Structure 1
Amino acid sequence: MRLILLLFIMIAFVHVQAQFAPNYQEEIERISQMEQKGFQRRRNGDLANARTSASQNFDVKYYRCEWEVDPAVRYIKGVVTTHFVMTSSGNSITLDLANEHIISSVTRNNVALSFTHMNGAVTVSFPVPIAGGVKDSISISYGGVPTTAFSPFTTATHGPNQDPAMWTLSEPFGAKDWWPCKNGLDDKADSIDVYIKHPAIYKAASNGLLKSETPVAGSGVITHWKHRYPIASYLVYFAVSNYNVLNNSVDINGTAVPMQTYCYPENQATFATGAQNAMNAMVQFSNLLGDYPFKKEKYGHVQFAYGGGMEHQTCSFMVNMGENLIAHELAHHWFGDKITCGNWEHIWLNEGFATHMASIYIENKFPANATVYRNAQINAITADSGGSVRVDDVNNPNRIFSQRLSYYKGSHLLYMLRWILSDAVFFSGVKNYLQDPALAYGFATTNDLKSHLEAVSGKDLTYFFDQWFIGEGYPSYKVQWFPEGNNVQIKVSQTTSHASVGFFKLPLPILFQNTGTGQQKLVVVDHTTNDQVFLENLGFEPNLVTFDPEKWLISKNNVITKSSDPLPVTFETVKVQCLGDQPQLIWTTSEELNADHFEIQKSSNAVNWSKIGSVEAAGNSTDLKHYTYTDYTTQANGDYYRIAEQDMDGKVQYSRILRNTCGTLQKSDLIISPNPVADLLHFRTNGENRGGMNVSIYNADGHLERLEHVSQTNSNSINVSAMQHGVYILQVEDVVSKSIKAVRFMKE
């Protein structure tokens, strides 16, 4: 989607930072209002047919578009030939075209076909039904004056001589206002050819590669553009004016990609400078995301007189060459053009990503201002207590193009994913998403992105998208800290701004500093439950604490306080070990003030918890205390545990969440101990194994780590002291019977 104004101001001097955030907030409001009004005007008077009336019994393969225009005259006529494949048998198909156009004929192989044209739809009838899977084509000859207010088909003037200009801009539903097509987010043509007949004093721009500019009788020219990538109807465009054409090229991994800029003569200098910035951004984005998606053809800019930009495929409309606008529209060629949101509920896949990539470009060029940019976005996001990234009303233009939610909250959702997964994992998952054959040059939803991030990271991100994509609002944190020499106790609590999310699960960055010595350490605590307490060794005593110093997270009204007294309980260690198949919880505390008892809680999903037992606390004590609790309720692995310390005054604080890995992979008589193991792993099997046993150890990824042959005795052992910490599988095979037994163990 276009950006109506610049989202960022290029900051040349550091002293501008203090003034940046208020100005940026005003920019957000103006951008949002203008986009929403533009979309609203395009829908007024045609609400029932704002999207598409096209039938679903055919798949568009190719459009041949032949148009005749004069930028000084608001009128278009032409012939659009649609090649298609029937997806099911039928004796008619329906395309979209606004009523103000007069259709002179519809033909197939130069034979006239009957048709109806009403309510923004053209229904073409065939003499006999066409079977599913059959290829065919029709040509629609038409002409008219598109009359929609704030039209997708616009004429204007520019420059000191008031030179005429004409352009089209169709997002989201405006393509049918000026040409017959399928107007929805469900079908991309595999390719297009555009032929524009216009007065010879002008230049005409469109998608793809310029193939020819052929003079015709009467001082006219036919300009031919050829585009051989799949394209959504709203991304098809043309523009005609007295353009100056600037030609450059940029190397993208060995391919010289043409950079072609069509600008008004009076603005050539600024557009030439902007083209270089676009080439720099293209190299940067190609390194992060994979090569520019249309590198076999071109990228470029076309100047127009509307306030902002629009990511027409292979050539973005630009009102000027502001750097953020350049980066935003270029990024759309990965997010919006190559992969298009499958419906407007998921518009953030276009706008959130484009906003985020523009931020990456700006941060890379002006790194000293990165936190200023991020903080301005966070302030915009948290200006209201509710609102989800998912569009819950696709009929509401204010909701679809919400600057606060679709653009900035969508962008900061990606900041948080980068923070959780790491940049390496995040961008690997995004590359896979962009290169997925089922999605590339097609349509996608949020679940498609989620699946690719999960596949690369090995993490279940359901909780994250439930909280941040579907859920509303944001957390506010209260961080209490108490220094104990080089150690620090940290207690983290949160409240949420909206009832749809009771708790936001995030790793939290907290920066501890000693301003006198210059020492500092960034501590990351995995905040999985409210009122969680952590103990960290800093190596120095801090006097300054900063929450989320680099502004990765969406939050507001955070409070950091230094406690004058130790926090009630300090969990030194918390772990699960195995007694056979039974999980045993072991924890130690070094501080217990006002503690009454420890409640053992269990969960199948780490969300819903139930009490399974309790252990009395030592009470007021500063000595190291050791506790154990064995769970005999189940032998199945996969359960989660946590320890809830109950104070005498009714307050509760929780340990970190633990995972039970003590269950066997299958019912067997293979017995191991101890589990977890530090040095020697002892194991035995019931029954005789006269030929001995082959013993294998696999890591959690299924790769073989050890293979040994042992003679059968009542007890055997393997030295695993050199193995790294982690979860492994011990497999024992009887060499005679070939029976296999396996059990999981933890290496400390």
Structure 2
Amino acid sequence: MNLYNKLIPAFLLILSTSITTTAQNLQADVQHYDISLTLSDSTDKISAVTGITVRFKEDARELCLDLVGRSGRDTGMAVSMVTEGKKPVAFRQQRESVRLQIRAKKGETHTYRIAYSGIPANGLIISTNMYGKRTFFTDNWPNRAHYWLPSIDHPSDKAAVDYTIIAPDHYNVVANGLKTEETNLPGRLKRTRYQEKVVLPTKVFAVGVADFAIDHPGDVKGIPVYTYVYPQNKARGFQDYAKAVEVLDFFIGKLGPYAYKKLANVQSKTMFGGMENAGAIFYEEESVGARTIEPLIAHEIAHQWFGDAVTETGWEHVWLSEGFATYMTHVYMEHKYGADTLAAGMKADRRKIIAFNKRRHTPVVDTSRQGGYMQLLNANSYEKGGWVLHMLRRQVGDSLFWKGIRSYFAAYNGRNANTDNFRQAMEQASGQELTAFFQQWLHTPGVPVLAVRKGNDPHTMVVEQLQETLFSFPLEYKADNNPEIQRILIKDRVTMLSIPGAELIHIDPRTNLLIEDRFE
């Protein structure tokens, strides 16, 4: 997702970080969700039946699913019945879960149907849009799907999903996958079905129900690209979101095959600037007409490869999603507007990282859980993660970098990956040992802070690392009397540079290094 255009409301931060879910479920692996939702204009209460097909990795007497129950504020989901086939299944509903009493053997696959209803407190946002029109939009990241959906609400559990949405017939419905049915029903209702056969984590499940104007600006290698915007934004929205055709074409060529059967770009009520739901990206309402619409679209489409098709094993590895999308956006802008645009973007990101590091001293791969998962959406996960990829690209060279990126995607497409998996893929592609590189840039807090001053000898400069933990990196510099770029390995606390006849030097002239420099 993209945070550049939208601040997350504080109350939503508090709400979403105060909950706990079943982290990874070590006993069960969901294979498929069959979600039936009935929505109404007269109430915010939803009625739902979700079928969950589970393969058991161990013998089990209980299946714990994440689901937020009823609260004193009259929100939450109340389960009325659970069945397997025609047989009722005993269950216990708790504040944030429903526990099914079952008998399952290792290797068996079972399908349970859970009937429930209630007003979602989060996750499925029932509201009005900027024009006062009623809308329904899922907004699940990081673990908010279980406010409306019984699930294993963790990125490590990926499953296929079918949707059946019954809603008033004036609405259009968009969701993951391909539309397989749209049927008018009695009572001015309409049933819409979508089917997504590619496995997804719940964080990128998507359902959008609103009065939309719909466009089809083109196909990319057989993939239809659609636009869904509010009718009031039709002219500008169709023009802005059509940029997705060019962006999708670029990333397919750069990264590998697109994993899904369609790409819908949807104006929505997401709390983020954009939310990378698989094949159905939700953008904030104000995105239409925004100056940043092109990089925003590039960011969210890049996520279709990184975050959606290849999903991090846990939230601490979210840089594999956000850092990748951040850097791939810069790569797209470099492709379209030139190397100076890339350099300007990296410099802006470097300033954000340095400012963040002064407020919070944590590594990119952050297992501390301080403040919950939402706090991981910060300059470490986005900008510093992107900078790590930029420095890795410069270290191994363009050809081997892109070979490694494509190999990593091919190996983990449809699966989960962690930071070590990515490192190993890049080592295999480049033939370089990258453990030290990954350790200092991803697992070590902070960035190198360099003090640069004249040495005692008039033909020298002194470079001193001021931060507590020493880093090792190649430093490029250019003296004012020599057009050639010089390169030296910095690994000690103090390093002397020889600059015969020069008065000034320019550190990192090609914007290839994540440092804070302080000239004296």
Same fold (TM over 0.5): yes
Deviation at 1:247, TM superposition (A): 1.4
Structure 2 residue aligned with 1:509: 476
* Residue 399 to residue 181, structure 1, CA distance change in 2 (3 Å): closer
1:110 is matched with which residue? 86
DSSP-derived class of the 1:228 partner: strand
1:244 — aligned with what?
Answer: 213
**Corresponding residue for residue 184 of structure 1:** 154
Matched, 1:370 2:342: yes
Deviation (angstroms), 1:61: 1.0
Structure-to-structure mapping, 1:181-330, within 5 angstroms? 181-189=151-159, 191-251=160-220, 255-294=221-260, 297-307=261-271, 308-319=273-284, 320-321=287-288, 322-330=293-301
Out of 524, 528, 550, the position equivalent to 2:487 is 524
Q: State how far apart, in whole Å, the 1-side matches of 2:319 and 2:166 are.
A: 37
Measure the CA separation in 2 of the matches of 1:556 and 1:452: 30
Deviation of the 1:53 alpha carbon: 6.9
Give me the whole-angstrom Cα distance separating, in 1, the residues matched to 2:248 and 2:16. 32
Taking the aligned partners of 2:111 and 2:197, their CA distance within structure 1 comes to 18
Query: What code does the residue aligned with 1:90 have?
Result: A
Residues of 2 paired with 1:396 and 1:88: CA distance? 33
Q: Retained in 2: the 8 A contact 1:196–1:223? A: yes
**The residue matched to 1:165 in structure 2 has which SS?**
strand
Q: 1:280 to 1:235 in 2, by over 3 A?
A: same
Q: Hey, what's the Cα distance between the residues in 2 that align with 1:457 and 1:287?
A: 20
State the shift of 1:530 in Å: 4.8
**Cα separation, 2, equivalents of 1:187 and 1:395:** 23
Distance 1:267 1:397 in 2: 36
> How far off its partner does 1:535 sit?
6.8
Cα distance in 2 between the residues matched to 1:309 and 1:165: 17
Q: In the aligned structure 1, how far is the partner of 2:33 from the partner of 2:374?
A: 32
Deviation at 1:543, TM superposition (A): 7.0
The change in CA–CA distance for 1:425 and 1:35 in structure 2 (over 3 A counts) is farther
Partner of 1:352 in structure 2?
A: 323
Structure 1 Cα separation of the partners of residues 398 and 43 of structure 2: 51
> SS at 1:154's partner residue?
strand
Task: State the SS of the aligned residue for 2:54.
Answer: strand
2:417 aligned with 1:444: yes
* Secondary structure in 2 matching 1:557: strand
Of 82, 105, 116 in structure 2, the residue corresponding to residue 142 of structure 1 is 116
**Equivalent residues of 2:326, 2:382 under 8 A apart:** yes
* Structure 1 residue 284: Cα displacement: 1.9
Separation (CA, whole Å) in 2 of partners of 1:346 and 1:421: 22
Aligned pairs for 1:646-725 within 5 A: none
SS at match of 1:337: coil
The TM-score with structure 1 as length reference comes to: 0.63
SS at structure 2 position matched to 1:525: strand
Query: 2:449 maps to what in 1?
Result: 476
SS in 1 for 2:343: helix
Give the match's secondary structure for 2:400. helix
Q: Contact conserved, 2:16 with 2:374, CA < 8 A, in 1?
A: no
Q: 1:522 to 1:53 in 2, by over 3 A?
A: closer
Distance 1:311 1:103 in 2: 30
Q: CA deviation at 1:56?
A: 3.2
The whole-number CA distance in structure 2 between the counterparts of 1:97 and 1:372 is 45
Give ranges in structure 2 of 5+ residues lacking alignment. Answer: 71-76
Letter in 1 for 2:56: M
Residue 342 (structure 1) aligns with: 313
The superposition leaves residues 408-427 of structure 1 with CA deviations (integer Å, 9 ceiling, x where unpaired) of 11111211111211222222
* Contact preservation (8 Å) 1:400, 1:406: no
Contact 2:162/2:193 (CA < 8 Å) preserved in 1? yes
- How far 1:158 sits from its partner (Å)? 3.0
Residue identity matched to 1:493:
V
Letter paired with 2:110: D
- Which residue identity does 2:343 align to in structure 1? T
Give the distance between the partners of 1:95 and 1:398, measured in 2 at CA.
Answer: 19
The 3-state SS of whatever aligns with 2:44 is: strand
Which structure has the highest helix share of the two? 2
TM-superposed CA distance for 1:222, in Å, is 0.8
1:555 aligns with 2:515: yes
Report if the CA contact (8 A) 1:166-1:239 is conserved: yes
Separation in 1, partners of 2:231, 2:460: 62
C-alpha distance in 1 between matches for 2:314 and 2:322: 13
Closer/same/farther in 2, CA of residues 509 and 269 from structure 1, 3 Å limit: farther
Secondary structure of the corresponding residue to residue 214 of structure 2: strand
Secondary structure of 1:261's counterpart equals strand
Instruction: State how far apart, in whole Å, the 2-side matches of 1:513 and 1:395 are.
Output: 46
Distance 2:430 2:108 in 1: 43
Does 2:142 match 1:172?
A: yes
Native 8 Å contact 2:459 2:502 kept in 1: no
Partner Cα separation in structure 2 for residue 480 and residue 524 of structure 1: 17
Letter in 2 for 1:228: K
Distance of 1:192 and 1:525 partners within structure 2: 53
Match of 2:126 in 1: 155
Q: Is the 8 A contact 2:161 2:197 kept in 1?
A: yes
> CA RMSD, aligned part only?
2.6
Judged with a 3 Å threshold, the aligned counterparts in structure 2 of structure 1 residues 365 and 543 are, in CA distance, closer, same or farther, namely farther
Equivalent position amino acid for 1:60 in 2:
V
Contact 1:489 1:533 in 2 (8 A): no
Cross-structure match for 2:73: none
Tell me which of the two structures has the higher relative contact order, counting C-alpha pairs closer than 8 angstroms and 6 or more residues apart: 2
User: Offset at 1:369?
Assistant: 3.8
More strand as a share of residues: 1
How far the C-alpha of 1:351 sits from its partner, in A, is 1.1
Alignment of 1:579-594 (within 5 A): none
Structure 1 residues 346 and 55, CA gap change in structure 2 (3 angstroms): closer
Change in 2 beyond 3 A, CA 1:549/1:53: closer
- Gapped regions of structure 1 (runs ≥ 5): 7-29, 483-487, 561-748
The Cα shift of 1:274 comes to 2.5
- Structure 1 CA distance for aligned equivalents of residues 350 and 428 of structure 2: 29
Check if 1:413 corresponds to 2:385. no
Using a 3 Å threshold, how does the CA distance of structure 1 residues 373 and 53 change in structure 2: closer, same or farther? closer
Secondary structure at the counterpart of residue 92 of structure 2: strand
State whether residues 507 and 526 of structure 1, in contact with CA within 8 Å, keep that contact through their aligned partners in structure 2.
Answer: yes
Deviation at 1:238, TM superposition (A): 0.7
**Any conservation in 1 of the 2:465–2:494 contact (CA below 8 Å)?**
no
Q: Which has the larger radius of gyration?
A: 1
- Which deviates more from structure 2 when the two are superposed, residues 409-418 or residues 386-395? 386-395
Pairwise CA distance, 1:186: 2.7
The Cα offsets for residues 710-730 of structure 1, whole Å up to 9 and x where unpaired, read as: xxxxxxxxxxxxxxxxxxxxx
Deviation at 1:242, TM superposition (A): 0.7
Cα offset, 1:36, TM superposition: 6.8
The secondary structure found in structure 1 opposite 2:517 is coil
Offset, 1:318: 0.5
| Contact 2:24 2:156 (8 Å CA) reproduced | no
